[in-house]
Amino acid sequence: MADLAQIMVRLGELVRFHRRKAGLTQIQLADLAGVGKATVYDIEKGKATVQINNLFAVLTVMNIDVQFSGPLSAAFERWSAAQSSDK
């Protein structure tokens, strides 16, 4: 698996690509996401110190979905469905 630095660089490239295709400046994206321009800059530069709530705000504005997976993903989904049906 890639380390955090590699993941953040790739994520930053993805955000930059989407932002540019949307015709937005970093300031415009920051305003839409309710974060500071420095946050967008840091995400696009791949900094690992970005607060997760700010990262998710930017991803949401750009319609970028995050998917989690792991060796127990299928088992978790079954467990989660069972928990939801018990409520």
Q: Which pLDDT tens digit goes with each residue over 19-72?
A: 999 999 999 999 999 999 999 999 999 999 999 999 999 999 999 999 989 999
Q: How far apart are CA 18 and CA 2, in angstroms?
A: 22
> Of how many residues is the chain composed?
87
Amino acid at 24: L
The dotted CATH code for 4-85 is: 1.10.260.40
pTM here is 0.84
